[in-house]
Homo-oligomer: A and B are copies of this chain.
Amino acid sequence: MDTEFNETARVEAFSDAVFAIAMTLLVLELRIPHQGEDQPGTLLQTLMDQRSMYVAFLTSFLSIGIMWIKHHKLFTLIQHRTHTLILLNLLLMLGVTVVPFPTAVLAQNLRDPLDVKIAAIFYNGWFTFIAIMFNALWRYASSGRRLLAKTVDERAIRAQTRQFTLLPIFYLIAFAVAWVDGPLSIAISLSLALFLAVPGSRFGSSLNPARDGWSRSAGQPKS
C-alpha cells in the first residue's frame, strides 16, 4: 500500500529539535569576559586565550552533528514505533541534551592537570552513555527485524549492528584513556567524530554504502 505514512515522523521531528537546540546551546558557552571597558585593546589576546574552549565546542558540535546523521540514518530503516522505542529514544535525547554541561565543565577546567582529567572522564563517560543508548535503540529495533521496514536488506542491518557495537567500544577507550591523560582522551573523541564524518572511511561508508542507501527507504513512504 503506497500511501502508508511515516509512523515515526513525530519522533523524528522531536529528536531533530532536541539535536538542533543542544548544538546551538553549545555556543552559549562561547563567551568572552566583559573586559572591553576594563582593558581596552586586549580583545585579540582574550580571543586567543580561549583556544581550548573552541576545541571543546568543536568536539561537542561535531559529535552531536554526527549523532544526528546516525539518528537520521537509523530512522530511515526503522518504520514502526512502540512505547519502548520511544522511551529508548527519550533516554538518547537525555544524553544529547546534557552534552553542553560536560562541554562547559571541560572548557572551564583546562588549567589544573587533575581537573582536566576529571573533566575528560566526565566528558567521555557521558559520550559512552550516549553510544550505549544508541546501541540499545538499534538492537531493540532491529532484533528479529522488529521495527524495520520490509525493504531494508540484511547487509544494511549487519553494517549498522557492527557500527553500533564499535561506537561504545571506541568511547570506552577514550573514557579509559581519560584516567591517564585528559587531553589525549579529548583528542581521541575529536578524532572519532572526524573519522565518522569522512564519507570515504570504511566506517563512514558503511553509514552510507551508496547514494541509494539513503534514497531508497527514507523520506519516501517507508513501505
Contact = CB atoms under 8 A, between A and B. Distances in A.
Interface stretch (A23-31, A154-162, A166-174, A183-191): A23-31
A84 interface: yes
A2 B100 CA distance: 43
A115 B43 contact: yes
Interface in A26-75: 26-28, 30-32, 34, 36-37, 40-44, 47, 61, 65, 68-69, 72, 75
Contacts of A220: 4-5, 7
Contacts of A114: 40-41, 43-44
Contacts of A105: 32, 43, 47
A122 interface: yes
A163 interface: no
A143 interface: no
A36 B115 contact: yes
A165 interface: no
B19 A14 contact: yes
Given A24-B97, A94-B65, A83 B207 contact: yes
Nearest to A65: B90
A43 B197 CA distance: 32
A141 interface: no
A87 B24 contact: no
A219 B219 CA distance: 13
Contacts of A90: 65, 68-69, 197
B26 A25 contact: no
Contacts of A115: 36, 40-43
Nearest to A76: B10
Interface string A201-223: 00010011001001100111100
Contacts of A72: 10-11, 14, 86
Nearest to A86: B69
Contacts of A110: 36
A81 interface: yes
